[in-house]
Amino acid sequence: MTKRAPEDQAPRIPRRRELLRHGAALGLAGALGPQFIGSAHAQADDLGPYQSAKINWKQVEGEAITVAVIPASYFDNLISLQPQFEALTGIKLRFEKVPPGQIRQKALLDLSSKTGTSATHAADPMYYPLYVANKWVDPLDKYLHDASLTDAAWYKYDDIVKAWRDADSMNGKPYGIPYDGEVTVQVYRKDLYDAKGLKAAETYDQLVSNAKALNDPANRIYGLALRGFAGAGQNMYIYPSLFRGFGGTWMHGGKVVVNSPEAVKALQWYVNTLPAYAPPAVRNWNWPDIADAFSQGTVACYIDAHSSAAVITNPQKSKVVGKIAYARWPKGPSGKRVTSIWNWGFPINAALTEKQKKATWLFIQWASSAETQARTSWKFAGPAKRSGINRISLWRSPEFAAAMQGAGDNFINAALESLEHDTDVEWRPRVPQWPAIGETMATAIQSALVGQKKPKQALDDAQSRIEQILKG
């Protein structure tokens, strides 16, 4: 079980020398330990599951591509299998590790300059509107529907989690293929809930009443925690679900509207709830801070990505192992249950040559295939068993259930039901101007959370700034 690195801030187009300096400092393909190398060599000899696909994997043998990813265990698992991919395809594969705070910047520079430095990269789903508007990435339907490149019966694109597929698509066409993803769920202390006769919340009201029943600051127990830190992927990862739960919609007459009555009610709920039932520092907390506090037994419930289970179930750091349970995001006053979703997906850089594009597609198909997803999850020889696998069939497999057994009660069911029933690709406004809009909203939310502005004022100010952003 692993956790993605969250969104950090709206990127600016950086100077090329900045990126080169960062890349040199990190090393372009981070060294892996012997356990990873041993696993890779063992699996490189087992190409049978891939060779059963009715395509010629070596059709562009001799091509070389670079793939940019973030330093994270779920990508390390994939990198360890590089020898397998090269043996299968004859394509030279180079991984470049870029910090999460810089990978969006690097991608924007590379795509906008049309240099084709990276064939593909770990892409933020909120950036596809910008990529597509500028024709920086290829639509992928032509690769999916080309029988010489994709064996549809072997690859089974429709098996990939629909919520993540939709997040990587625009206008009904896929522009990225999800590799690793997440969905947000309730995480709670079942021992504390049982002691008070409580059940996982079905509504916002019940979430608050549970928090009130368990809140005991004098004994360092807080009833509820949610992200408060300002960022497009921080408080603006949580707030949109609250907003949608209150019945809010982002688009009105083709215009982004962030200060509707529903928006004000959602932010007021956020502002009222956090100070009442969360640790005082939560206004500046990101997901690792919340997971750590829960691990130490000071938080009774939080709502965040299912993959944060990797932190709270670590027996070397967590005091609550064996006391954890999961449930879906509660219903808001509107009756809607809208959870937040995320994935790192792979697009194809439109600036590549046709042979490079084919090589990149073969890499994407290999990385996102059911076989590779399994080999980077429960079949992986290292300790990090990915929980963000991209295929519904694997989510329902007994092997995955066995690998996730230590996560806690109802882990797979809560996450899978959330993915299948509670997701809405429009939970955040999908417009090309998202980077700036996301940051504007994040700042507005935090200004309300810390008491600098009333919710309506904060959102009115944000609306004014966003209207200027949309004007260009």
pLDDT of residue 172: 94
Q: Coil, strand, or helix at residue 181?
A: strand
pLDDT of residue 371: 98
Q: Of 392, 407, 422, which marks where a domain is finished?
A: 407
* Residue tagged 């698992």 (tokens): 77
Q: In this structure, what token pair is assigned to residue 24?
A: 């040199």
pLDDT of residue 110: 97
Range of the domain at 26: 16-181+343-407
Tell me if 9 is assigned to some domain: no
pLDDT of residue 195: 97
Does residue 294 register a pLDDT over 90?
Answer: yes
Tell me if 294 is assigned to some domain: yes
Does residue 244 register a pLDDT over 70?
Answer: yes
* Element at 69 (helix H, strand E): strand 64-69
Q: What is the mean pLDDT of residues 121-132?
A: 97
Between 247 and 2, residue with greater pLDDT: 247
Kindly give, in sequence order, each residue whose CB lies less than 8 Å from that of residue 214, ignoring residues fewer than 6 positions away.
192, 193, 196, 198, 221, 223, 300, 301
Tell me the CATH number at 393.
3.40.190.10
How many Å apart are CA 432 and CA 138, to the nearest integer?
16
pLDDT of residue 13: 36
Q: Of 384, 407, 430, which marks where a domain is finished?
A: 407
**Residue 310 corresponds to which amino acid?**
A
pLDDT category, 383, cuts 50, 70, 90?
confident
Q: What is the average pLDDT score of the chain?
A: 91
50 closest CA partner among 147, 140, 144, 154: 154
pLDDT of residue 43: 54
How many Å apart are CA 463 and CA 127, to the nearest integer?
21
How many Å apart are CA 221 and CA 211, to the nearest integer?
10
* Residue tagged 């091509």 (tokens): 63
Tell me if 71 is assigned to some domain: yes
pLDDT of residue 382: 76
363 and 317 co-located in one domain: no
Instruction: Assess contact for 442 and 236: CB atoms under 8 A.
Output: yes
Kindly give, in sequence order, each residue whose CB lies less than 8 Å from that of residue 313, ignoring residues fewer than 6 positions away.
1, 321, 324, 406, 407, 408
Tell me if 335 is assigned to some domain: yes
Does residue 396 register a pLDDT over 60?
Answer: yes
pLDDT digits (tens, 9 = 90+) for 57-95: 999 999 999 999 999 999 999 999 999 999 999 999 999
Between 95 and 232, residue with greater pLDDT: 95
**Residue 315: other Cβ atoms inside 10 A:** 9
pLDDT of residue 154: 98
Does residue 401 register a pLDDT over 90?
Answer: yes
Tell me if 304 is assigned to some domain: yes
In whole angstroms, how far apart are CA 276 and each of 213, 282, 443? 12, 11, 21
| pTM beyond 0.75, yes or no | yes
Tell me if 3 is assigned to some domain: no
Tell me if 5 is assigned to some domain: no
279 and 424 co-located in one domain: yes
229 and 118 co-located in one domain: no
pLDDT digits (tens, 9 = 90+) for 158-206: 999 999 999 999 999 999 999 999 999 999 999 999 999 999 999 999 9
Helices (H), 73-203: 73-79, 82-89, 100-113, 128-133, 141-144, 152-155, 162-167, 190-195
122 closest CA partner among 162, 85, 189, 72: 72
Does residue 231 register a pLDDT over 60?
Answer: yes
pLDDT of residue 44: 54
Does residue 451 register a pLDDT over 80?
Answer: yes
In whole angstroms, how far apart are CA 295 and each of 298, 316, 401? 8, 10, 22
pLDDT of residue 45: 67
pLDDT category, 385, cuts 50, 70, 90?
confident
pLDDT category, 26, cuts 50, 70, 90?
very low
Tell me if 113 is assigned to some domain: yes
pLDDT of residue 20: 33
CA 210 centroid distance within chain: 28
243 and 320 co-located in one domain: yes
332 and 371 co-located in one domain: no
pLDDT of residue 472: 76
54 and 186 co-located in one domain: no
Q: Of 386, 407, 428, which marks where a domain is finished?
A: 407
The domain tally of the chain equals 2
Task: Name the percent of the chain lying above pLDDT 70.
Answer: 90
